[in-house]
Structure 1
Amino acid sequence: MIRPLSRTALVLDIVGATLLFLIFTPLSVVFYGPATTGVAVVAMVVASILMFGGVAVGRLAPGLALGAAWTGAIVQMLAGFAPLPIDLAILLVLYATSAWGSRTVLWWGFGSALFGGLVAAVYIVVVNGIASGATSGWDQLTTGTLLLVLSILALGFAWVCGLLWRVVLRGRSTRAAQLQAESLAAEEQERVRIARDMHDIVAHSLAVVIAQADGARYAAAAKPEMATEALGTIAQTARGALSDVRLLLTQLRHRQGDGPQPTLADLEALFAQVRQAGVEPRITVDPTPPGEPPGAIQLAVYRILQEALTNAIRHGDGSVDVHLAWFPERVDLQVRNIAGVQPSQGGGHGVIGMRERAQLVGGSLQAEREGTQFVVRASLPIGGTA
């Protein structure tokens, strides 16, 4: 029965209903009540209070407002008054039932418009004798029918106007929900992208750091210069990872556009890091790129290779074979290494991240164990994204 309504809106409704009461009640008394008794005038005022009281709570409780309007109309008819200026409140209440009422109140308002029009027409014809001056029964029927149509049109017009406003409000609510959903989806997509980049950067850098640290620990006693070199590699890798992480955090905090992304030109530095971690990549590029591949393809190739090589460092044993085949319409990528303890197919954030990278540019990726080897295969279209 009671709708949530702000205090400001409720105060405005009460003030507006009070002003209408102060305007239309004296008008009805002056022009329609001079010849009536004091009791009838009091009944008119009571009816006006009930009707405009319904207007005051029309948005807060449309069902209660409809009941108050019906009660005021019955009091008015019992006092013997024809339609009065205060009946404007009935139209406003019908508007409120269709604009803000529940589904039940909405249809109660519709039924009230139809039944109220019939009651008003019969009351005017029978009680007030509007059609008594007609010369024939046909004229009386015509006059009564006209009054019925006019009454239903007046009440129905108010109800339909409220229904139209209800549609407008629902459209606004739907649009607001749609915009909110789109905003949440965009934010989630951005979080996933940053998380994917963070994983690629941090996982690869930490794998290199761990491999170098293990090598430095064993080499420190026999060859101190190798330990020093390993510590330098660790520091260089950590600084690079810290710089990349700071860039990602800046994008996340300030919602900036993408910063500089790695390209094919950065692959040599990636392979050098892998060599420093103790894994020798054997790279084959056949055929070579026919031109400058799109930036999205270059980024996808770099990140997939980065993650596949990181897995080779962490889980592999020995060398790793990397094969790139650049065709006019696609690039095929394959990374093969001796399998140690590899993540299960489809498991782990690394494999998921590689597969997402491929799917973002419309390609596909498979990561599986083949005998003693773990193989990552990807095919990325160069013509455009999905």
Structure 2
Amino acid sequence: MATDVAAAVCDWEDDLRRAGRAAPAGLSVMFRVGAPALALAFAAGAVPAAALAPEPSILGIALVLLSAIPWGRWILKGDDGPSWWFALAVLVPLGAAVLIGLDSPVAALMALAVGLLLVALNVGFAPVPLAAGVAGLTYLVAVAALAGAPPVGWVALHLGFALTLAAAYAVRVSHDSSRLVARALEALALQRAADQRRIMAQDVHDVVGHTLAVTMLHITAARMAIKRSSEAEALEALEEAERHGRASLADLRRLVKVLRSGEESPTAPQPGLADVEALVESFRAAGSPVEFTLSVDGLAVVNPGSELAAYRIVQEALANAVRHGTGAARVSLTLAGGEVAVEVGNPVGGLTDNGPGSGLVGMRERASAAGGDLTAGIRDGEWLVSARMPA
């Protein structure tokens, strides 16, 4: 009917392949070989049955053989998918043979089986107009051939048609459902990749932003120490800047390794609430005054998602405080009432709220991913970042 019933099947196979799934191996074999071979077997059964009839019809036998040519081409050249030309090339000579009279009930039954197979293939995979046309034409030919037949023949015809249509429609529904599932899997894979890229972008932003902020503080301290001729202080500040730079480089290498390996998340331990104090201390050591308060009320265990989100929010907020603030920052971390509350504030002087930047967007996404929310803005001359997440 491998350019025209396989076109539909090939589309399905392509959808499955893009979604990372393999189509059943037997499916392609069934359509490329099984269906036409079955039709040829029916036709081959009709020819000797008609030839052995009391008054064999040479023209009828020739028409049956003619109707088998498209099926033979299917096996030799490949399937072209459901098409009008294929349906007519099979049904016209086959219907003519039946109407002329094969003078053999067995031959007529075999011819009807070929027609029902064609109906099943088209109802299962062809566009609706083609499927309806093939089913209707086959039914009319069968009805015309059964004129004057006993009631049992009519019952058998309609029962055969009903079963064929039901089975073919079930295949059609299964085919369409599988295609939709394959496309949904493909979309899900793309969404996962996009989410992973977004998470990695957040990690890179957090790591680089924090490291640059602290490193610049240490470099500034080193420059001021050199001006004061304090060589020891300058050396200490530069060593701290180098240490933070190397740590940041190691984090970036880990993230790049994750991207290359296709892992869904980093395998190294992620920072949490226990690391917030060390984070604050790193800013203090770089010369940025930070006030830190921790309040714990009965909570011993916090889910890792909220821990990581809280750490990254403090990290980004302090980096922003270094870049844009004008005074000492304050960090408040509270664990109470089944939630983790984070507040980071710093004086901003005459700074105005110009809307969210990428860092603020990232903080909000982290809080949302942990099941919480985050607000940020100027309050009483202070830029305040406030987040609450379930513990």
Please classify the TM superposition score into its range, dividing by the shorter chain length: 0.7 to 0.9
Structure 1 residues 286 and 35, CA, compared in 2 at 3 Å: closer, same or farther? closer
Q: Which residue number in structure 2 is paired with residue 47 of structure 1? A: 64
1:366 and 1:377 in contact (8 A); partners too: yes
Q: Which residue number in structure 1 is paired with residue 154 of structure 2? A: 148
Which has more radius of gyration? Answer: 1
2:36 and 2:71 in contact (8 A); partners too: no
Q: Which residue number in structure 2 is paired with residue 181 of structure 1? A: 187
Distance (Å, rounded) in 2 between the aligned partners of 1:380 and 1:151: 68
Sequence identity (%): 26
Distance (Å, rounded) in 2 between the aligned partners of 1:343 and 1:116: 83
1:207 paired with 2:213, answer yes
Distance (Å, rounded) in 1 between the aligned partners of 2:269 and 2:308: 10
Structure 1 residues 313 and 192, CA, compared in 2 at 3 Å: closer, same or farther? same
1:24 paired with 2:45, answer yes
Deviates more, 1:186-195 or 1:238-247: 186-195
What is the letter of the counterpart of residue 190 of structure 1? Answer: Q
1:117 and 1:148 in contact (8 A); partners too: no
| Deviation of 1:165 (Å) | 1.8
Q: Which residue number in structure 2 is paired with residue 284 of structure 1? A: 293
2:211 and 2:248 in contact (8 A); partners too: yes
1:88-237 alignment to 2 at 5 Å? Answer: 88-122=113-147, 125=148, 143=150, 145-223=151-229, 224-237=231-244
Distance (Å, rounded) in 2 between the aligned partners of 1:305 and 1:67: 73
1:378 paired with 2:352, answer no
1:306 to 297, 304, 315: 315
Structure 1 residues 78 and 291, CA, compared in 2 at 3 Å: closer, same or farther? closer
| Deviation of 1:51 (Å) | 4.7
Distance (Å, rounded) in 2 between the aligned partners of 1:259 and 1:246: 12
Instruction: Specify every segment of 5 or more residues in structure 1 that has no aligned partner in the other structure, as ranges.
Output: 131-142
2:346 and 2:383 in contact (8 A); partners too: yes
| Deviation of 1:321 (Å) | 1.5
Distance (Å, rounded) in 2 between the aligned partners of 1:26 and 1:74: 14
2:95 and 2:141 in contact (8 A); partners too: no
Q: Which residue number in structure 2 is paired with residue 321 of structure 1? A: 330
Distance (Å, rounded) in 1 between the aligned partners of 2:224 and 2:383: 28
The 3-state SS of whatever aligns with 1:347 is coil
What is the letter of the counterpart of residue 99 of structure 1? Answer: G
| Deviation of 1:79 (Å) | 3.1
| Deviation of 1:237 (Å) | 0.3
Runs of 4+ aligned structure 1 residues displaced above 3 Å come to 5-11, 54-59, 286-290, 340-346
| Deviation of 1:198 (Å) | 1.8
TM-score, normalisation: structure 1: 0.81
Q: Describe the superposition over 1:262-297 as per-residue Cα deviations: whole angstroms up to 9, x where unpaired.
A: 122222221122123331001122456642333322
Distance (Å, rounded) in 2 between the aligned partners of 1:116 and 1:180: 44
Deviates more, 1:46-55 or 1:87-96: 46-55
| Deviation of 1:221 (Å) | 3.2
Question: With CA pairs under 8 Å and 6+ residues apart, which has the higher RCO, 1 or 2?
Answer: 2
| Deviation of 1:102 (Å) | 0.9
1:114 and 1:156 in contact (8 A); partners too: no
Q: Which residue number in structure 1 is paired with residue 358 of structure 2? A: 349
2:305 and 2:370 in contact (8 A); partners too: yes
| Deviation of 1:11 (Å) | 5.7
Distance (Å, rounded) in 1 between the aligned partners of 2:360 and 2:96: 78
| Deviation of 1:241 (Å) | 0.9
2:40 and 2:68 in contact (8 A); partners too: no
TM-score, normalisation: structure 2: 0.80
The 3-state SS of whatever aligns with 2:136 is helix
1:358 and 1:365 in contact (8 A); partners too: yes
